[in-house]
Structure 1
């Protein structure tokens, strides 16, 4: 029988709030249980371990990109970036989940469909999508680290070094490389 009053959705929503308010290092099962006013053991009814919970959070973060209609690579990459930036440490949560082979493959699948949509074969699309996924995760992780440092006064926001169009520039380089490879 499930813990009274809390569904898996309740647990995941509370975990996302803690992630946003305190960051990944402070998203503990104990803190989550306290927020839900249950014993930590009650959480394991819905999620057998923290990695499974993080996989659910990753799926929810990436799920923000799902429009149902395949679009071009640039649109998908920007959509993924926006989804990751919507949650504190979003890139780290998604990246760690992917590294463990947990959670859905939605981000990669959408990027692959976008590369196919741009006229490439399935093999090139899969490899190109992997490259773009790693680029987006790395770029956003870096952005989120800088935002954290800026928020605690560790860095001068004026001297951040990241321009708003740097993401687009890097993405355009990858797309140009794909197009050039297609002509070889």
Structure 2
């Protein structure tokens, strides 16, 4: 049976889930698929392109918040749902950081944040800053969580005290309040 792009993506996703992002190599991916490494490059031009595609699929899984909610509540929901999506996959925050950190603006999720903020009356510059602040905060927070959890699993660090969910919620609220404040038209 011929190798397909879907086979490559699904196997790469499984390798990350089973062994972590650090163990995803093109050579190992080829071995798992039973092909020579060069066969992978017919379907993805590079490992970076593979990571970007996996990151896109993950980001695309984040649901759009209800448009019936106030725009600030939509941002809170989007941030919470992004974290949940990232936490549901091994090394997902690192994967998104590696695969999409420089191009979050072009992701559907990035466009959604921009649209939500612009519906508040904010201009493109404020909406762009809001997108970057929100997405980079959530990805960074979750990356820290997942990295620390890995260290704890391997006995390299003690478990953290406190409620990570509450800490996230509180910090996300601070970020969104900052976005709300910056989206207001300034009084001249």
Name the TM-score class by shorter chain. Answer: 0.7 to 0.9
Question: 2:22 matched to which residue of 1?
Answer: 25
Give, in angstroms, the shift of residue 27 of structure 1: 0.2
Question: 2:61 matched to which residue of 1?
Answer: 64
User: For residues 69 and 11 of structure 1, do their structure 2 counterparts lie closer, same or farther at Cα, with a shift above 3 Å needed?
Assistant: farther
Match of 1:11 among 1, 5, 8: 8
What do the CA deviations read for 1:43-84 (whole angstroms, capped 9, x no partner)?
A: 000011111111111111111114486561011111111121
Is 1:155 aligned to residue 157 of structure 2?
A: yes
> Any stretches of 5+ residues in structure 2 without a counterpart?
none
Distance in 2 of aligned mates of 1:104 and 1:21 = 29
Is 1:145 aligned to residue 134 of structure 2?
A: no
Write out aligned runs for 1:18-167 (5 A).
Answer: 18-67=15-64, 72-101=74-103, 104-157=106-159, 159-161=160-162, 163-167=164-168
User: For residues 15 and 160 of structure 1, do their structure 2 counterparts lie closer, same or farther at Cα, with a shift above 3 Å needed?
Assistant: farther
TM-score when scaled to structure 2? 0.85
Asked if structure 1 preserves the Cα contact closer than 8 Å seen for 2:26 and 2:37, the reply is yes
Distance in 1 of aligned mates of 2:166 and 2:32 = 39
Asked if structure 2 preserves the Cα contact closer than 8 Å seen for 1:59 and 1:103, the reply is no
TM-score when scaled to structure 1? 0.86
Asked if structure 2 preserves the Cα contact closer than 8 Å seen for 1:58 and 1:103, the reply is no
> Any stretches of 5+ residues in structure 1 without a counterpart?
none
Superposed CA RMSD in Å reads: 2.3
Distance in 2 of aligned mates of 1:124 and 1:102 = 16
Distance in 2 of aligned mates of 1:156 and 1:55 = 32
Distance in 2 of aligned mates of 1:74 and 1:96 = 24
Question: 2:177 matched to which residue of 1?
Answer: 176
